[in-house]
Amino acid sequence: MPEPTLTPTAHAATLPGSAHPTNDVAPGTPARSPHPGRGLTRAAGIALIVIATAHVVGTMTSAWSGWLAGNLRDGTADPESVATFWAQPGGLAVPLALVGLLVIRMARRSERAPTYLGWVLLGWIVLCMTLIGPASGFTSGLVPSVLLIAADLRARRSPAAPVAPAPGGRP
């Protein structure tokens, strides 16, 4: 099998038999074989970012003035303000968006997301839906979790070439 090469102008690895270079590959780095679930992985990352953004927009509040004045720190905030804090800036929207960005980056680099990511996300979503009911925003979390699981299963069942080892020798 011929060694993957780098295109001198784009600085992106071009895989043998592929007209599309992979992204985020430094010049001189061996190319990774694209995994079959790459598109599903990318879609899952986008879904995570959309969910995080919808959460922030959907929970916009006027409580910020009280929070900035210190009512959360001094204990004078009413229970609704405290609950709103945990739904918005203290919630999972920012970490969820960061996970989404990492998943998209992994897809661009032709890396599979860890198997546990989709399964743990699915378990968390099902637990929350069980506690609060299916008519909640948690239902939207089924989309990225199922996409991540499907991408992993597709990549594992594919006869594609193995992924090149990452720095440090781990695949």
- Segment 89-101, tens digit of pLDDT: 888 888 999 999 9
- Which two structure tokens, joined as six digits, stand for 72? 């959360």
**What DSSP designation does 50 have?**
H
Q: Phi/psi zone of residue 110: left (φ > 0), alpha (ψ -120 to 50 degrees), beta?
A: left
Mean pLDDT of the chain: 79
Q: What is the pLDDT of residue 160?
A: 58
Query: Are the C-beta atoms of residues 63 and 85 closer than 8 Å to each other?
Result: yes
- pTM beyond 0.85: the answer is no
Query: pLDDT band at residue 48, thresholds of 50, 70 and 90?
Result: very high
Q: What is the pLDDT of residues 106-162, one digit of tens each?
A: 999 988 899 999 999 999 999 999 998 888 888 999 999 999 999 999 988 876 544
Q: 60 to each of 49, 56, 73, 80, 145, how far by Cα in Å?
A: 17, 6, 20, 13, 26
